[in-house]
Amino acid sequence: MLGIVRRKAAFGGVSASKIWIRSFSGAAKELTVRDALNSALDEEMSADPNVFLMGEEVGEYQGAYKVSKGLLDKYGPKRVLDTPITEAGFTGIGVGAAYYGLRPVIEFMTFNFSMQAIDHIINSAAKACYMSAGQISVPIVFRGPNGAAAGVGAQHSQCYAAWYGSCPGLKVLVPYSSEDARGLLKAAIRDPDPVVFLENELLYGESFPVSAEVLDSNFCLPIGKAKIEKEGKDVTITAFSKMVGYALKAAEILSKEGISAEVINLRSIRPLDTSTINASVRKTNRLVTVEECFPQHGVGAEICASVVEESFGYLDAPVERIAGADVPMPYAATLERIAVPQIEDIVNAAKRACYRSVPLAATA
């Protein structure tokens, strides 16, 4: 907890109703992930009075990571609600509000704290529509930073994509870029079902190029559709959240060695865009999955199952899975680095899939 508190002071932000964009002569405009999320929240709250934000430090402190900066001043304390440190309490209130037609956005300071509220997320929100025969919809968003950060230990470093992705009734989104963050958060807030929105703390300050279309207030991305970030013909690499950036860097390295990698940004864990994944594998005939989650029962395992079921005859090599180490996250920086996937791990896996290196068993 102290590690999180110490980092808060380092995060800046922008006021609501303003999107600070860096523009360079002859280059695309750029927007940080933090500002993309802030602008999406601002626009959806402006468009729909039923949308409100609730969580720890979202108001007076303007968000632990300044994602909600300026929203309290603009919309007031009835729509931007600071809560005590009681995730079970304010999550339950949010679900109840959604039952009655409001559209709450529940912020967790870290998704590790969502475990205090998991009964409301799973039993109260995710199952309500089915158990009521469609009579109760629960339009609620659970959002906040997910996955490994830096130096915060095992209890603040878990990836919950596979946890929540296994639960029917939830939609699970995992943005990577500013375009993802803005378009997917708008889609999540407008959706009639509960959405788990997994951000990444280390991406908040990252800037990405955005088009005029992305900055339009009507911009929205479809839920359940992956994006091909880079086309290739030799190997498919699937990734989500921060790992998309790692996969793209690995693809650059591989291209210098004559390997053309196709990089797929999943964007959505549930529903999972298996059509795009399988179409890519049928073209490249090889697959590498990348994630920060634990390897057992992970997102990569689900992707592997889909490819084996639908595209097994197209595979020219065993599927390679890159995931976090099967241990609680170490606190020591040297061990922490070993416990999460690195760019070189992706490069080596792609080489193995393309038979360009010594097999993994031979190097063990």
Residues designated catalytic? 87, 156
For residue 146, give the nearest of 110, 170, 113, 177 by alpha carbon. Answer: 110
Give yes or no for a contact between 171 and 140, defined as CB atoms under 8 angstroms apart. no
β-pairing verdict for 103-107 and 141-145: parallel
Tell me the three state secondary structure of residue 335.
helix
Are the C-beta atoms of residues 318 and 181 closer than 8 Å to each other? no
Do β-strands 227-230 and 261-265 pair in parallel, antiparallel, or remain unpaired? antiparallel
Strands 195-199 and 227-230 come out as unpaired
Which pairs count as long-range contacts for 309-313, CB under 8 Å and 24+ apart, including other chains?
A: 310/274, 310/278, 311/278, 311/281, 311/282
Contact present, 226 and 275 (Cβ < 8 Å)? no
Distance from the first to the final alpha carbon of the chain:
37
Helices 343-353 & 242-255 angle (0-180, nearest 10): 50
